[in-house]
Amino acid sequence: MSLVGELVVLLVNGLQTGAIYVLLAIGLSIILGTLKFVNFAHGALYVVGAYIGLLITQQISIANGQLAEWGFPTLGLGWGFIAALVIVPPIVFVVGLAMERFVARPFYDRPDTDQILVTFGLAIVVQELIHALIGPRSYTYDIPSEIAGGIPFSGPVGVPLSAVTIDVWRVWVIAITATLVIAVYAIVEYTDFGLVVKAGTRDPEMVRLLGIRITRPYLVMFGIGAGLAGVAGVVGAPLSNINPEIGMTILVPAFLTVVIGGVGSIRGAVLGGTLIGMVQVTLISLGTVSLGSLSINFTPWAQVGIYALAVVVLLTRPQGLLGSEEVTA
Amino acid sequence: MTAILETRDLVKEFGGLVATDHVNLTIEEGELVSLIGPNGAGKSTLINLITRMLEETEGEIFFEGDPITDLEPHEVVQRGIGKSFQTASIFPELTVEENANIASFGAEHGSFRFNFLKHRSSYPAVQQRTLDTLEAVGLRSQKDTTAADLPYGDKRRLEIGIALASEPALLLMDEPTAGMSPEETQSTVELIEDLQEEMDLTILLVEHDMEIVFSVSDRIAVLNRGSIIAEGPPDEVQGDPSVQEAYLGGVEL
Amino acid sequence: MSDEVGSAAETEADSEPVDESPTLYERWRQIHDNESTVAALTILGVALAPFVLVTLPTQLGLPSEYSWYHNLLTLTLIWGIFALGYDLLLGFTGLLSFGHAIFWGTSAYAAGIFSANVTGSPLAMILVGTLTAVLMAWIIGWISLRRGGIYFAILTLAFGQMIYYIFLSPLGDITGGENGFTGVQVGSLFGVVDLGRAVPFVPEAFVDSWMYVFVGAAMILSVVVGYRILNSPYGAVLRAIRENEQRAEFVGLNVWRYKLMAFILSGAFAGLAGSLYVIQRSFVPIENTLNWTVSGDIVVITVLGGVGSLFGPVFGAGLYMYVANIVSGMPVIGEFWHMILGIVFIAVVATMPHGIWGRVDWLRDRVADAIGGDER
Ligand SMILES: Nc1ncnc2c1ncn2[C@@H]1O[C@H](COP(=O)(O)OP(=O)(O)O)[C@@H](O)[C@H]1O
Ligand SMILES: [Mg+2]
């Protein structure tokens, strides 16, 4: 394979990995920036999206779950992936509103630690409910071949290279994410509704003082953030395995995206997610690099690299790359 | 007289907003100086700069002749600058006595010690200071009450007690009577005056109530949009037309 | 055992005359809060637990699969030590760490690897494990505490994952990767006592092995040290930081260093516990040491049991171990044990600031008040 070809694959994979983090980080970041609410159950929305999508897409056979014992050895609608793609986001949006209303809102006036604890508890309940009902095994999506395949990629005219293949679906994920992010960004930048949200990010104290009624825009933002997490669950699913634990494992890079990008900033989330995705994928693809007698295998460091990135950003720019300086006093 | 506190061309910007603009303020030992000005004038910002809660953009601060701009807030406190907060800042779930006790540890032991295996009662000087503090603000009889259960006025007194436990040379008070009833305000003002006399305190007071300001102050500094526009004894400031213009919008005092 | 431990000093320093005839309850209240009483009660509890929880229920006819067993009790004490230290941070300082698996886990690896390469002396393993945890806590605390509040939880969680992945793969040659470290060689205590052996002259109905005695001693030591810390100036300062960090800074306390110390101290407890865990299991499974679920479990244990007391977290450890190991085997609800714990956890967070033990304590005080009159 040629260098250009490899770089294109790298770029697509990195952007796609980052896209999932971006989708998750936007909701986290805005809620954190405006309501100062830390949602450890944000990953649970991702899991819920992934599993609902799974059950819409296909029929699954349940091996170790209670549902099998209760007379449902198979479950699912089998409507196909496109249906899941359309149906899941609004469902998770509603789930997000419910989460805001019944879990988050009663805790707005409680200390940060209580907010984290209660959402963490919720994340456990969701994870363990799925674990008990459907079982611990991993599932994969059946997706139509036209989006599952690869497209041969040949280089610019005149550059002789052997073709590489790019997963079509990865390109789709990037495109879908870009569209949604631009839409949310436009809402926040150019509507009255967004103006309130933005003002709140600048001056969270004011939002508190004005009381909960004015915060309706945030509730909608909470829902939108949840919907995006649900989207992440469905669009990310065909590229990975689905099991009850994915919510907690994805939460950490999602938080890091927020921390690196800067709390409350959509552009920051995009930058942070892209950086993390690229670092992770680059380290994986580097593989073993030999410099003379010294050879280092970078692949195992891929997971570590993103944390190192976060630590470096944090030590040099505590408010995140695009975050504003923290308001003290 | 010697200057206990001096700020030189102190500037603080938040983004594009200049919250304090080349402020030069000197406070002499033993004075009670009031800082007044409309909302958003930069009074709290100035106080926060002195306590090192905020990092200055430009300028210098001297306390007892030494620069303090490189210090942390707790180091400034250890040097002898105390602060009473805009809202009653206490340890709500602890008892009144424990509140005073903690302040006494800070005062007697400095900012940090490795004494995590030694019993608290083995520090008689701390215990004594705790009692003295409670005595000074008249809360001895309520020492076993949980601080959160005190009436608001008593919370403020406790707060002042905490700020005074370290026997600061300079006390910064940011609106100590905010949110108090007239009676509570009255007794707090008396407390401030008594304490100043008894403890040889120098006080920088931020206060909205002009009656209080004009009756207790030795000197008044007027801040408007981050700049000091007038400074002097109460009667002088009161008559200053620029103050009336900028600060009071022309309304007679 | 004491709950708001801080009251001890003040009660003693209290110079006002004690009224005429203290009731039985008052006298209990006084001896209740003193170090030797706390130590004696812990010794009593540790000594009687096997008989009360393992032997007695079986004798009374409880099916043996629903009863405690000796190893589970030892494991509970180990987690109890972990939780006790964790509560120093969460309950008393108000810092929520989601990375305590780091200290439990790295100490376990350090102790295990040390035993394979240097000596299997249990005390040396504990020393190495605990020191490792302290060092890790110092580094990670130093970085994570730069940002306050919510960032602390996120950063500790992130560091936990980072260390997990480092041990899983890049260091896989040393740590055994996903198989865990299998070369642990636990030697005998002082070169003579094999921890796996029964204790001579003590019936098995009370103590099954030296291991229990060893872990029990560590538990008693931990309680005493924990009690000391809480009654030292640190006890007051840490609670002050929990209540109002800014105010604590403004009485002249170096809040950052006290927080770092709280983090390190709690890391040390976690290190002691992690080392004991390896000594008990002779194996370092990565999923039970460095996985984030361990960090999550210690949060659940401590909050369920009750933050802000010495005994609450230990109680929480017992509850969790029983549910995770015994209830999980029961029909129907067994499958849902973890979810049920999650629901109970949410309920506790929402309504019981001092956990289940806080409720027990509150009830006990009520009953005692009813018996002892309305003297308080
Ligand atoms: N932490 C901060 N971040 C951004 N702007 C601030 C901050 N603190 C104060 N300001 C701004 O600085 C100006 C001065 O505020 P402040 O010092 O609180 O005024 P005062 O106490 O006189 O009412 C105001 O315009 C305020 O909005
Ligand atoms: Mg102010």
Q: How many angstroms is it from B85 CA to the middle of ligand 2?
A: 10
In a domain, B64, yes or no: yes
Give the three-state DSSP class for C250: coil
In a domain, B243, yes or no: yes
Please state which of the ranges A160-164, B16-20, B156-160, C259-263 shows the lowest mean pLDDT. Answer: A160-164
Element spanning A295, H or E: strand A294-297
What's the number of domains chain C is made of?
Answer: 1
In a domain, A323, yes or no: no
Residue B42 CB less than 6 A away from ligand 1: yes
In a domain, C26, yes or no: no
d(CA B163, CA C213): 50
In a domain, A328, yes or no: no
Contact in structure between A313 and A320 (CB atoms under 8 Å): yes
Residue range A295-316, pLDDT digits in tens:
778 888 888 888 888 888 887 8
* Nearest CA residue ID for atom 11, ligand 1: B19
How distant, in Å, are the alpha carbons of A299, B165, C7 from that of C11?
Answer: 60, 21, 6
Q: Is C338 in Cβ contact with A116 (below 8 Å)?
A: no
CA distance C257 to chain B (A): 7
Chain B environment of C255 (Cβ under 8 Å): 74
The chain B residue lying nearest C246, using CA atoms, is: B89
Which residue numbers of B have CB closer than 8 Å to C's CBs?
Answer: 51, 72-74, 77-78, 82-83, 85, 89-95, 97-98, 101-103, 105-107, 109-121, 123, 126-127, 144, 162-163, 165-166
Residue A325 CB less than 6 A away from ligand 1: no
Q: Which atom of ligand 1 is nearest to the CA of B223?
A: 22
Residue C285: which domain range? 36-291
Residue B101 CB less than 6 A away from ligand 1: no
Ligand at shortest distance from the CA of B45:
1
Ligand 1 pocket test: which of B44, B48, B55 has the largest number of ligand atoms within 8 Å of its C-beta? B44
User: Among residues 47-66 of chain B, which lie with CB inside 8 Å of chain A?
Assistant: 48, 53-54
d(CA B184, CA B190): 10
d(CA B194, CA B217): 14
State both tokens at A328: 């003290």
Chain C environment of B93 (Cβ under 8 Å): 239, 243
**CATH number of residue B14's parent domain:** 3.40.50.300
User: If you search the block for the tokens 């649970």, which residue do you land on?
Assistant: A44
The predicted pLDDT at position C110 comes to: 96
In a domain, B166, yes or no: no
Residue A327 CB less than 6 A away from ligand 1: yes
Residues contacting A187, CB < 8 A, separation 6+: A193, A194, A224
Contact in structure between A257 and A276 (CB atoms under 8 Å): yes
In a domain, B86, yes or no: no
d(CA B78, CA B90): 19
State both tokens at B252: 């007679």
Q: Is A209 on the interface with B (CB under 8 A)?
A: no
Residue B222 CB less than 6 A away from ligand 1: no
Q: Is B165 in Cβ contact with C233 (below 8 Å)?
A: no
What's the number of domains chain A is made of?
Answer: 1
The predicted pLDDT at position A151 comes to: 67
Ligand at shortest distance from the CA of A204:
1
A66 or B42, greater pLDDT: B42
- State residue C268 phi and psi, 5-degree precision: -65, -40
Q: Which atom of ligand 1 is nearest to the CA of B47?
A: 17
Chain C environment of A311 (Cβ under 8 Å): 143
The chain A residue lying nearest C99, using CA atoms, is: A252
Report the 10 Å Cβ neighbour count for B231: 19
DSSP string, C61-102: T--GGGS--HHHHHHHHHHHHHHHHHHIIIIII----S-THH
- Closest C-alpha among A145, A225, A229 to residue A188: A225
d(CA B242, CA B182): 30
In a domain, A283, yes or no: no
* Nearest CA residue ID for atom 27, ligand 1: B40
d(CA C259, CA C242): 10
Residue range A38-68, pLDDT digits in tens:
899 999 999 999 999 999 998 888 888 888 8
Residues contacting A313, CB < 8 A, separation 6+: A259, A260, A320, A321
Q: Is the pLDDT of residue B63 over 90?
A: yes
Ligand 1 pocket test: which of B11, B12, B14, B23 has the largest number of ligand atoms within 8 Å of its C-beta? B14
- Closest C-alpha among B138, B150, B7 to residue B91: B150
The predicted pLDDT at position C11 comes to: 41
DSSP string, A121-171: HHHHHHHHHHHHHT-S--B-----HHHHSEEEE--STT-----EEEEHHHH
Q: Is the pLDDT of residue A21 over 50?
A: yes
State both tokens at B187: 């007794």
In a domain, B170, yes or no: no
Q: Is A118 in Cβ contact with C90 (below 8 Å)?
A: no
Q: How confident is the model at residue A205 (pLDDT cuts 50, 70, 90)?
A: low
Average pLDDT of the segment spanning B99-113 = 91
Q: Which chains touch A (3+ CB pairs under 8 A)?
A: B, C
The predicted pLDDT at position B251 comes to: 46
In a domain, B218, yes or no: yes
Residues contacting B105, CB < 8 A, separation 6+: B123, B126, C233, C236, C237, C251, C253
User: If you search the block for the tokens 């409910």, which residue do you land on?
Assistant: A129
The predicted pLDDT at position C4 comes to: 44
Q: How many angstroms is it from B145 CA to the middle of ligand 2?
A: 30
Strand A294-297, strand A288-291: pairing: antiparallel
Q: Is C239 on the interface with B (CB under 8 A)?
A: yes
Residue B20 CB less than 6 A away from ligand 1: no
CA distance A157 to chain C (A): 41
Residues in chain C predicted with pLDDT less than 70, given as ranges, are 1-33, 372-376
- Closest C-alpha among B236, B202, B212, B211 to residue B222: B236
Terminus-to-terminus CA distance in chain A, angstroms? 57
CA torsion angle for C118, C119, C120, C123 (degrees, to 10)? -120
d(CA B45, CA B52): 10
**pLDDT over 90 percentage in chain A:** 40
Residue A205: which domain range? 3-244
Q: Which chains touch B (3+ CB pairs under 8 A)?
A: A, C
Contact in structure between C116 and C183 (CB atoms under 8 Å): yes
Contact in structure between A266 and A323 (CB atoms under 8 Å): no
* Alpha-helix runs per DSSP H in chain A: 3-34, 42-57, 66-69, 81-99, 112-133, 145-148, 168-190, 192-202, 204-210, 216-236, 246-261, 266-286, 302-316
Count of helix runs (H) and strand runs (E) in chain B = 9, 10
In a domain, A280, yes or no: no
* Nearest CA residue ID for atom 26, ligand 1: B40
Residue B161 CB less than 6 A away from ligand 1: no
What's the number of domains chain B is made of?
Answer: 1
Residue range C145-197, pLDDT digits in tens:
987 777 899 889 999 999 999 999 889 888 988 999 998 888 788 877 788 78
Q: Is C174 on the interface with A (CB under 8 A)?
A: no
The chain C residue lying nearest B93, using CA atoms, is: C243
Tally C-beta pairs within 8 A across B and C. Answer: 119
Q: Which atom of ligand 1 is nearest to the CA of B46?
A: 17
Q: Is A315 in Cβ contact with C146 (below 8 Å)?
A: yes
CA distance B81 to chain C (A): 9
User: If you search the block for the tokens 């805790």, which residue do you land on?
Assistant: A107
Element spanning A61, H or E: strand A60-61
Ligand at shortest distance from the CA of B86:
2
Q: How many angstroms is it from B39 CA to the middle of ligand 1?
A: 9
d(CA A100, CA A120): 14
- Burial pattern A85-102, b for ≥16 Cβ within 10 A else e, equals bebbbebbbebbbebbee
* Strand stretches in chain B, DSSP E: 3-14, 17-28, 32-36, 58-63, 66-67, 81-84, 170-174, 202-206, 219-224, 227-232
C125 or B15, greater pLDDT: C125
Edge-to-edge order in the sheet of strand B32-36:
B81-84, B170-174, B202-206, B32-36, B219-224, B227-232
Of C236, C247, C253, the CB nearest to B98: C236
Q: Is the pLDDT of residue A160 over 60?
A: no
Paired with A75 in beta bridges are A60
Give the three-state DSSP class for B35: strand
Residue B19: which domain range? 1-71+208-253
| DSSP one-letter code for C193 | B
Q: Which atom of ligand 1 is nearest to the CA of B43?
A: 22
CA distance C165 to chain A (A): 6
Predicted TM-score of the model (pTM): 0.90
In a domain, A93, yes or no: yes
Q: How confident is the model at residue A326 (pLDDT cuts 50, 70, 90)?
A: low
d(CA A53, CA A48): 8
Q: Is the pLDDT of residue A129 over 80?
A: yes
C215 burial (CB, 10 Å; 0-12 / 13-18 / 19+) is: buried
Report the 10 Å Cβ neighbour count for B36: 24
CA distance C34 to chain B (A): 11
Contact in structure between C110 and C181 (CB atoms under 8 Å): no
Q: How confident is the model at residue A133 (pLDDT cuts 50, 70, 90)?
A: very high
Ligand 1 pocket test: which of B13, B45, B53 has the largest number of ligand atoms within 8 Å of its C-beta? B45
Of B93, B106, B115, the CB nearest to C251: B106
- Substitution target in A124, A257, A299 with the highest count of C β-carbons within 10 Å is A124
Specify whether the backbone of A89 is left (phi greater than 0), alpha (psi in -120 to 50) or beta. Answer: alpha
Paired with B219 in beta bridges are B33
The predicted pLDDT at position C3 comes to: 44
d(CA A109, CA B9): 40
3-class secondary structure per residue, B45-63: HHHHHHCCCCCCCEEEEEE
C21 burial (CB, 10 Å; 0-12 / 13-18 / 19+) is: exposed
How distant, in Å, are the alpha carbons of C82, C260, C354 from that of C238?
Answer: 19, 11, 17
Terminus-to-terminus CA distance in chain B, angstroms? 31
The residue type of C99 is: G
Residues contacting A166, CB < 8 A, separation 6+: A8, A9, A12, A150, A151, A153
Please state which of the ranges A93-102, A178-187, B112-121 shows the lowest mean pLDDT. Answer: B112-121
Strand B170-174, strand B81-84: pairing: parallel
d(CA A174, CA A168): 10
Average pLDDT of the segment spanning A106-120 = 90
Strand A288-291, strand A164-167: pairing: unpaired
Residue B41 CB less than 6 A away from ligand 1: yes
The answer to whether the complex's ipTM is over 0.85 is: yes
The predicted pLDDT at position A215 comes to: 65
The predicted pLDDT at position C27 comes to: 62
d(CA A188, CA C338): 40
